[in-house]
Each structure stands twice: as C-alpha cells, then as structure tokens.
A = this chain, B = another copy of it.
C-alpha cells in the first residue's frame, strides 16, 4: 500500500465535500478491502507526486442528471477544477459498476490497466470505458434562437436541443437529423463551437451552431414539451437570471453556447 496515495471520497457516486466546500480526500486505507480502484492521475499540487484513486461503488447510475436535484445543487457550488475531477471520476467508476460482466459472453470481468479497461477471463474480450458523443446545437433564424423544454423538465426551463450521434453519422449529419426529428426544422451551415465532457453517465457534448431554413415547428411530443423561438434580448435577460425562461446554469455547455451567441 502506497502511503502517499490519495483516495477521492465518494458516497456511492455522489461527491463528498469538506467544510471548505472542496472535494474530500482520504487514503487507500479508507477503501473497502476488496474495492476495485481506478487510477485518476498524479497530484503534483504540493511539489510531490501523489497517485490519486477512486473506488468503484457497489452500484452505478445510468439515470440522467435531471433525475438528481441534490447533485445538481452540489455541482453549482463546486469550483471548476473539482467539478472536472469529480466528473471524470464519476464517469469511469460508474462505468465499472455497470460493466462487471462481459457483454460478449456473459462471464464476470475484472478491472485492468489501472481502471481504464476491464478484461474477460473467459473469452478474452477487452472492454473500454465508453464515452458517447452527443450533439447540442444552437439553431438560429432571423436573429432568433430556437430553444426547447424536454418532457418532464421543470416549467420554464429551456435549453438547446441535443441528441446522441448515431453509428454511421458525422457530427453535422447528427445535428441536422436531431433538429429535424425534434422540431421539423431543416438546418444548414452547421459549425462546431466547443465541447464539454458530461458525466451523466459519460457523454461528450459537442456544441454546434446552425441556421434554420424555416421557422414552422412540428414538435416531437414524445421528446419535447415546448419549443420556442427567443430573441437576443430574451436570451440575454435569461442568462442574467431575469428573462422569460430559466436558462441552464453556467457550468453547462448550453449556457456557454448561449453566451457565445449573444456575445457575437
């Protein structure tokens, strides 16, 4: 046991925060005897090199972020570096917890390569943590921005449309298909803006901008509760916390994309 090693303290998949509001750390002695440990990297913050680990919890959680308001509140208080570290650790420990068996043959798998792989001793298959690319897109027409409220979202909360990239698609094709499926709108001139990892459970959010050919909405009511075209003034007011809708919080890429749009 490396006495210098640090263990990220988690309550299942939830972060543990200390009195200073920062992520709490322990030592490897705080992990269960039979815990699977994932290597997170080296902490060089105090001049030394301390290996950092997280333990795989008993159960994973594939539910979307909206399903956990307590976590959502905690995340709003965390500082950016802690948020990024927690996000990466949550994503990979959750993946291990939900992948204890081989998808190819059904036999148990075991952790390998410091937690960045699992191996099947029965059929030899190697399994790697998954990261799902998701497009999230601004759709613009005549100075207005199309924003939607998903089914089950709180009243008044709007964000950019988003959807998984499917096998066989480019990023630009995924944006066009997803916008058309959810809103009936055809887009052109799709461009990439920025990306963000999103650990609920393991998305890579790919933020794009596009132009709509039309504004007549045909809303997919299985996915969306409302879709509305908002003016620059309305989006600006919402980002300031005083608009006609509730905008996504600052740590979400949708907020950053909307900020990029009003700042151009």
Q: Are B168 and A84 in contact (CB under 8 A)?
A: yes
Most chain B beta-carbon neighbours within 10 Å: one of A87, A100, A105, A206? A206
In the assembled complex, the Cα of A210 lies from the Cα of B27 at a distance in Å of 39
Which residues of the other chain, B, contact A128 by a CB distance below 8 angstroms? 132, 164
- Mark contacts of A120-135 with chain B using CB atoms, 8 A cut-off: 1 yes-contact digit, 0 otherwise: 0000011111111100
| Interface residue from B100, B129, B194 paired with A166 (Cβ < 8 Å) | B129
Does A167 count as interface, using CB distance less than 8 angstroms?
Answer: yes
Cα distance, A97 to B114, chains bound together (Å): 28
Chain B residues near A231 (CB, 8 Å)? none
Q: Which of A73-120 contact B (CB under 8 A)?
A: 84-85, 87-89, 91-92, 95, 98-108, 116
Cα distance, A159 to B131, chains bound together (Å): 24
User: Closest CB-CB distance, A54 to chain B, in whole Å?
Assistant: 12
Are A91's CB and B167's CB within 8 A? yes
Binds B, one of A45-53, A148-156, A169-177, A237-245: A169-177
Segment at the interface with B among A10-18, A139-147, A196-204, A215-223: A196-204
Minimum C-beta distance from A241 to chain B (A): 26
CB of B165 within 8 A of CB of A131, answer yes
User: Do B88 and A168 have beta carbons less than 8 Å apart?
Assistant: yes
B168 touches A87 (CB 8 A): yes
Residues B199 and A171 in contact, CB atoms below 8 Å apart: no
Query: A91 — which chain B residues lie within 8 A by C-beta?
Result: 167-168
Given the known interface contacts A98-B125, A130-B132, A132-B131, the answer about A167 and B105 at a Cβ–Cβ threshold of 8 Å is no
- Selected from B108, B129, B204, the residue in CB contact (under 8 A) with A106 is B108
A236 within 8 A of B: no
Question: B103, A101: Cβ atoms under 8 Å?
Answer: yes
Most B Cβ at <10 Å: residue of A104, A108, A194? A104
A72 close to chain B: CB less than 8 A? no
Contacts of A130 in B (CB 8 A): 130, 132
